[in-house]
Structure 1
Amino acid sequence: MSLYLCVDCGGSKTSAVVCDASGNIVGRASGGPSNIAYLTITSFIETIQTTVGDALKTCTTPASVDTVALPPSELEFAAAWFGISGADSSSIIESVMGPLSSLLGIPKGPRLSVANDAHLLAAPIRMHEDIFHAVTVIGGTGSIVVSFKEREDGELQELGRVGGWGWILGDEGGGYSIGREAVRQVLAEQDIHSTMKSPPPEGSLRASLKKYFDIKDVMELLTEVYVLDSTPSTVVDIDNRAHKYISREKRLSSLSPLVFTAAFEDKDPLALKVLRMCAKDLADQICIVVGDANDEAPRLVKASESVICFGGSVVGLKVYRDMVLDELTAKGHVFKYVEFVDDCAAVGAAGLRLKYKD
């Protein structure tokens, strides 16, 4: 049986999907984190070995109850596609290429594709025969925008890239920036009213942040946001102070659900303002890679001739995705196709099979 393997290697989990020559998913499994920026090569390969071995359990005859040893003896991979978080340089990709080749029994070459995880999100380009360009937009805790061209040989060529700088330097439009902007706007409103007779209105967003951080005064937000990360040995007495025991990054990104609730359930104008600002920031990043190509910018792609592929928890919310698309429309960029990919490994496996269908 010739199998097509796609593995989505993320910072929180690893997803592996195996499909057959007809495009049917015949194996699937999830494993631990596999962001190569945070792991040794050995730890990374161990995670891949376990996850792919688990995905192959249902591919054997009879189905195995144990993790399948790699490389598999009775099965054959026709091709494999790895999208790896943290694989942002050719040196990192080369460092895992050899071990993956040995692990899977696939020679180094075109049938073993290793790239940044944003590449997997571009898989829908292979499902629309009338386009050759895609713009991928990852909007989860963080954000990144990457544009692609499908070459004549079926390979994806990266054209432009914006963001992916992490929470300290960027992540505009993602969950972290939404949480940060919510705190900023509440504090800014407090500053504006410091010279006024009346206090700021006690809207839903303001009230939610005070409840989340268990504070009475909005200005206490500064202390709660800046408190140092706890160490692994910290004895946790959570009670209502759980935020003190998570990293500062997650302390802010975990606020994004509160912002969406305040904006769309409670109709809080300040929360709506926050989301519009963040949606505009993300749209501005997308605009960097789209437009009419010219001598100075030959790698721009035309939105009307491309598919935009969204992926991630925040842009998974249609109401926010529509905000981003509305911002793009206002700037004159309307994409021919819009896709939300909620299972990159499955879509990637299907796209890989289509690449080699002949």
Structure 2
Amino acid sequence: MSLHLCVDCGGSKTSAVICDSSGTILGRALGGPSNFAYLGIAAFTDAVRVAVSNALKTCVSPPSIEPVSLPPSSEIFATVWFGISGVDSPAAVVNASNGLSALLNVPVGPRLIVANDTHLLAAPLRLHPDISHAIAAIAGTGSCVVSFKQTPVGTLEELARTGGWGWILGDEGGGFHVGRETLRQILLDDNRASLGGTKPAPSSLKEKILARFGVEGVENAPEVLPVVHLPEPSLTANEMPDVPSYLLVAREKRLSQLAPLVFDAAFNEGDPFALKVLRICAHALAEQIALLSREEGEDPALKPRGVRARESVLCFGGSLVGVEKYRDIVLEELEGMGHVFKYVEFVDDAAAVGAAGLA
């Protein structure tokens, strides 16, 4: 009963960290995707089981060869904190809590904390005693923005949230949005070209994106549409070895997996088209953050739970805003909207921060 577990569950990976009562990390492991809304309770708990079991395995010195099991008859962890992508409602919290309680044999209650993954990001608020408010903005595979205030006893109280609606309805500024906006801008340029006049400037990114989907030449850009809209795959690469890889992933992944190409073209090649796409996406994420903020001089009665940027910390998390140049564009867009935060932090290891906080 001296171990503390924190698990950061996201759309791309699961990060499990275990520490002792002094806050020293004893074990950690990564697992596959564990977005609760996408997977459902059975697949979600299985993804958590694998990550936690492997993290326990690394606690053994030397590491054991066989994965450590999670015996239902024993209590391994004193406290557990889960930050879960896709847990966005009280009902989702209850469902996830019940499944995790059964998996880890930790009773639902104060020893088992289950919340959205943005809660883990707000931990830096405790590092700045001169402020009491924070906005946590996640932009990885998906996106979500949540505001918090620190209570007199040091706990975090959620004030408001926006986004976190998944790839069909939102994910502004996240990986799916970047991929979708890239294809949208390629097709818009094709539409403009059909009107005659000046042709868009050449872009290496356009060629790479279209070639990924088996389309040769920007003049054939509309040919990408049938590929993007094909139904979810029903077979695996082993069953269809000659089928292009983009046809064997879920529709959401067909677009979210384009983000690394866009970032490379923008920040390593200086491709103007790629930079334009990222500014559009960064602006959308900045709008989400601004929605939870209150402008200088704005009547508090109009947004009583709004956070004043100059008296708050903005906590970023996720793979996309982990890229400093992209983060800077988001901050530039926010400044243009009149929101400059007193502190800006990037939390690159939310599970480790959460585990130490539990201890």
Which residue of structure 1 lines up, in the alignment, with residue 147 of structure 2? 147
State the distance in 1 between where 2:160 and 2:141 align.
21
Contact preservation (8 Å) 2:75, 2:105 = no
Larger mean Cα displacement after TM superposition, 120-129 or 135-144: 120-129
2:280 aligned with 1:277: yes
CA gap of 1:179–1:189, structure 2 versus 1, over 3 A, is same
Amino acid across the alignment from 1:236: M
Amino acid across the alignment from 1:341: V
State the distance in 2 between where 1:223 and 1:347 align.
44
Aligned-residue sequence identity (percent) comes to 54
Cα deviation for residue 183 of structure 1 reads 1.5
Which residue of structure 1 lines up, in the alignment, with residue 354 of structure 2? 348
1:152 is paired with a residue whose SS is: coil
Amino acid across the alignment from 1:168: I
Which residue of structure 2 lines up, in the alignment, with residue 29 of structure 1? 29
Unpaired runs of 5+ residues, structure 2, are none
Match of 2:222 among 181, 206, 219: 219
CA gap of 1:190–1:55, structure 2 versus 1, over 3 A, is closer
Which residue of structure 2 lines up, in the alignment, with residue 356 of structure 1? none
2:260 aligned with 1:254: no
1:22 is paired with a residue whose SS is: coil
Contact preservation (8 Å) 1:121, 1:311 = yes
Amino acid across the alignment from 2:272: P
2:68 aligned with 1:67: yes
Summarize deviations over 1:283-333 as a string: whole Å, max 9, x none.
011100011572232111111222211111111111101000111112221
State the distance in 2 between where 1:334 and 1:201 align.
34
Larger mean Cα displacement after TM superposition, 195-204 or 322-331: 195-204
Cα deviation for residue 107 of structure 1 reads 4.5
2:91 is paired with a residue whose SS is: helix
Cα deviation for residue 127 of structure 1 reads 2.5
State the distance in 2 between where 1:46 and 1:205 align.
38
Unpaired runs of 5+ residues, structure 1, are 354-358
Which residue of structure 1 lines up, in the alignment, with residue 14 of structure 2? 14
Query: What is the TM-score when the length of structure 1 is the normalising length?
Result: 0.86
Which residue of structure 1 lines up, in the alignment, with residue 300 of structure 2? 294
Cα deviation for residue 141 of structure 1 reads 1.9
2:232 aligned with 1:232: no
Which residue of structure 1 lines up, in the alignment, with residue 110 of structure 2? 110
Larger mean Cα displacement after TM superposition, 217-226 or 43-52: 43-52
Output aligned runs, 1:131-146, within 5 Å: 131-146=131-146
Cα deviation for residue 233 of structure 1 reads 5.7
Which residue of structure 2 lines up, in the alignment, with residue 164 of structure 1? 164
Which residue of structure 2 lines up, in the alignment, with residue 123 of structure 1? 123
State the distance in 2 between where 1:265 and 1:14 align.
29
CA gap of 1:150–1:242, structure 2 versus 1, over 3 A, is same
Contact preservation (8 Å) 2:147, 2:160 = yes
Cα deviation for residue 159 of structure 1 reads 0.9
State the distance in 2 between where 1:248 and 1:45 align.
23
Q: How many pairs were matched up?
A: 351
Contact preservation (8 Å) 2:75, 2:106 = no
Which residue of structure 2 lines up, in the alignment, with residue 173 of structure 1? 173
CA gap of 1:61–1:184, structure 2 versus 1, over 3 A, is closer
CA gap of 1:200–1:223, structure 2 versus 1, over 3 A, is farther
Query: What is the TM-score when the length of structure 2 is the normalising length?
Result: 0.86
CA RMSD in angstroms comes to 2.8
Contact preservation (8 Å) 1:50, 1:67 = no
Which residue of structure 2 lines up, in the alignment, with residue 335 of structure 1? 341
